[in-house]
Amino acid sequence: MVDSVAHPVADHEGPTDEGRRDFLYLATGAVGGAGVVAIAWPLIDQLNPAADALALASIEYDLTKVALGQEVTIAWRKQPVFIRHRTQAEIDAAVRDDHAPMKDPATDASRVKPGHAQWLIVSASCTHLGCVPTFKGGEYNGWLCPCHGSMYDTSARIRKGPAPKNLYLVPYEFLSPTKVKIG
Amino acid sequence: MDEHTSTYQPKSAFERWLDARLPIVRFSADLMEFPTPRNLNYWWTFGAILAFCLAVQIVTGVVLAMHYDASGAGAFLSVQRSIMRDVNYGWLVRSIHANGASMFFLAVYIHIARGMYYGSYKAPREVLWLLGCVIYILMMATAFMGYVLPWGQMSFWGAKVITSLLGAFPVIGDPITKLLWGGFAVDSPTLNRFFSLHYLLPFIIAAVVGLHIWALHVPGNNNPTGVNVKSKTDTVPFHPYYTVKDLFAVSVFMIVFALFIFYLPDAFEKVDNNVEANPLVTPAHIVPEWYLLPFYAILRAIPDKLTGVLALAAALGSLFALPWIDTSKVRSKRYRPMARNYWLVWVLAVLVLGWCGSQEPDGHVFPGGAGPVFIDYGINTVTWLSRIAAIYYFVWFWAITPLLGFFEKTLPVPDSLATPVLSHPATVPAGAAAAPQTKG
């Protein structure tokens, strides 16, 4: 066994063969790696929202259905949205706190459309972990999140609790003084 | 164990034929012969109990999947009407599966606590411990996704809150939650993928359990003294000594299990989960299942979203690090009086966190007012109690445990694991030391 020629090719070719072998390893690895990436991406991306979920739907809402001092929760793109008909006292309270210390400072005027200060239209998902806050709960008379106690004021700004941001604004426009289009 | 050699003798021509091709009978026979410390107590039976739980969950789960409709429109009715009312014995299978999850966690917590108390995580069993931690995380993921499937209010909002945890990370948070949801909110696509994964993960768990048992069989079992097995007389074969003991423990466990299935089937269920998922209304008081409450309390104790999520992850990550942060040379806390006491307080802290997780954050711990406000909440609130307990949770892991190894004065450790057994007064009555037993 010992005196038989164990590696005739290696003895014959020597270092040249080593270089070719390294190249083959690298090339095989690169092709294989590219193949893995090429198949991994479709397998990951299929988890993303499908085309039907992505189709941007906009909805119209008749504001006369919301009495003064009340709110409604409607679904836009399957996400809850608050439409709150604020009283003058609630608007005043929000404006008064414009410069109070806040996590996510914003003036009340920046959160409503000019001339429509009585209508506050915001995403109804708590910016902490997505629960729908309870109307008029908490110390600021705005909303109280039932999950982890985040408190929002009457401008839907975060005032206390773990949520990092104010309730997000959603894109909308007034079609008439009593009708909005969300989305 | 290394010195363990196979004692299997094929008995028939067929067994010899098979043994040369697939030595599966030899493998099973060797498992049964496995030399096991002679002094294992009943805390060691929870491994078998857990294997039983996993089998029960897989069998009942496969049956439930035959009648379940994984769609936003049909899921709730397929559970509440078909399975609970129309399918023959559907109520029974669901009761076993739903309560089985709680039983599984009850057993796993005892199993983990046993490993912590007797130092089973210490060298050379670190990989065994790590695999156990992986199983525990997989169990939590599986249980969470399973809880979403009945598509009630708690299912839906539980799914929303937990998936939103990942939204805490800057930049990548939002794309990741959207990827998980398959939409802009928790919806039918979310339910479908959770169902798919809920069916897959138990088999991954079973595979990791296989590795866990493999990693157990390399160094062999720890034992209540924590002293290494030194000779053949320290061990007994797994069968019949521990098969019988495990079987007895599983039977007792099944009695408790059956009490829940038949007499308290809804004990762990929140009433709100009998209301169909409604994306526009969050239930007034949402809490996770009991087995996740301590971590939920840690998450909620911290007023910053990202820090809260990181603390939650660190609470689990600390478990993985335990073999390396425990510096003591003595394994069993039997001989570590200080470590035992600090650990018992840690167990208490986990239970307190569990209680806190089930309460409102601004609820009062003691009757009366909230007390003076400190930072954001009164001192006498659940939030502050959970903060104190959470601090102890981490201090125990990262300060007390490493330091005790240097400063603790341990009790004398027995020379062999058999010494405490043989010298126990109940085993050896005075004057009858070596009297052979004639009646049995």
Please identify among residues 21-50 of chain A the ones whose CB lies closer than 8 Å to any CB of chain B: 44, 47-50
Residue-level pLDDT at B421: 66
pTM greater than 0.90: no
Structural tokens at position B156: 């839906």
Number of residues that this document lists for chain A? 183
What are B's interface residues with A at a Cβ cutoff of 8 A?
Answer: 157, 160-165, 167, 178-185, 187, 189, 193, 279-286, 300, 302-306, 308, 360-362, 376, 383
User: Residue B377 has what pLDDT?
Assistant: 82
The tokens describing B184, both together, are 């802009």
Q: Please give the sequence-ordered ranges of beta strands (E in DSSP) within B106-263, or none if there are none.
A: 235-237
Would you tell me which CATH number, out of the four given (3.30.230.70, 1.10.10.60, 2.102.10.10, 3.40.50.300), belongs to the domain A53-182?
Answer: 2.102.10.10
Per-residue pLDDT tens over the stretch B283-324: 888 889 999 999 999 998 888 888 989 999 999 999 999 999
| Segment A29-44 mean pLDDT | 93
A147 — contact with chain B (CB < 8 Å)? yes
Mean pLDDT lowest among B140-144, B214-218, B278-282: B278-282
Beta strands in B46-187 (DSSP E): none
Give chain A's count of helices (H) and strands (E): 4, 10
Q: With CB atoms and an 8 Å threshold, state whether A131 touches B165.
A: no
pLDDT in tens, B55-64: 999 999 999 9
Position A90 confidence tier, pLDDT thresholds 50, 70, 90: very high
Spell out which residues of chain A touch residue B300, defining contact as CB-CB under 8 Å: 148-149, 162
Residue B199 distance to chain A (closest CA, Å): 17
pLDDT computed for residue A138 by the predictor: 87
Look up the CATH number of domain B21-282: 1.20.810.10
Contacts of residue B102, defined as CB under 8 A and 6 or more positions apart, other chains included, come to B260, B268, B289, B290, B291
CA end-to-end distance (rounded Å), chain A: 81
Q: Could you confirm whether domain B287-410 is CATH 1.10.287.980?
A: yes
Q: Which residues of A are catalytic?
A: 148
**CATH topology agreement for domains B21-282 and B287-410:** no
Nearest residue to A85 via CA among A76, A77, A73: A73
Cβ <8 Å between B283 and A148: no
Q: What is the mean pLDDT of residues B341-365?
A: 94
The mean pLDDT value of chain B amounts to: 92
Q: List Cβ<8 Å contacts ≥24 apart for A51-59.
A: A53/B182, A53/B183, A53/B184, A53/B187, A53/B189, A56/A183, A57/A183, A58/A181, A58/A182, A58/A183, A59/A181, A59/A182, A59/A183
- Are B185 and A77 a contacting pair at CB < 8 A? yes
Rounded CA gap, B388 and B368, in Å?
20
Give the residue on A whose Cα is nearest the Cα of B283.
Answer: A146
Q: What is the spatial distance between Cα A74 and Cα A94, in angstroms, rounded to a whole number?
A: 23
Residue of B398, B388, B384 lying closest to B314 (CA atoms): B398
Decide if A51 touches B, using CB distance below 8 A. no
Predicted confidence at residue A59, as pLDDT, reads: 87
Put simply, whether A79 touches B (Cβ < 8 Å) is yes
The pLDDT tens digits for A4-35 are 555 555 455 555 678 888 999 999 999 999 99
Instruction: Provide the mean pLDDT of chain A.
Output: 87
Q: Which residues of B touch A50 (CB under 8 A)?
A: 182-183, 189
Provide DSSP, B15-65: HHHHHHH-THHHHHHHHHH-EEETT--GGGGHHHHHHHHHHHHHHHHHHHH
Other beta carbons less than 10 A from residue A108's beta carbon? 23
Q: Distance between CA B371 and CA A46 in Å, rounded?
A: 52
According to the per-residue pLDDT averaged within each range, which of A33-47, A99-113, B238-252, B296-310 is highest? Answer: B238-252
Contacts of A164 in chain B (CB under 8 A): 304-306
Strands (E) in A11-103, as ranges, are 59-62, 71-76, 79-85
Give the residue extent of every domain in chain B. Answer: 21-282, 287-410
Chain A hits for B280, CB-CB cut-off 8 Å, are 73-75, 80, 124, 132
Tens digits of residue pLDDT in B94-103: 999 999 999 9
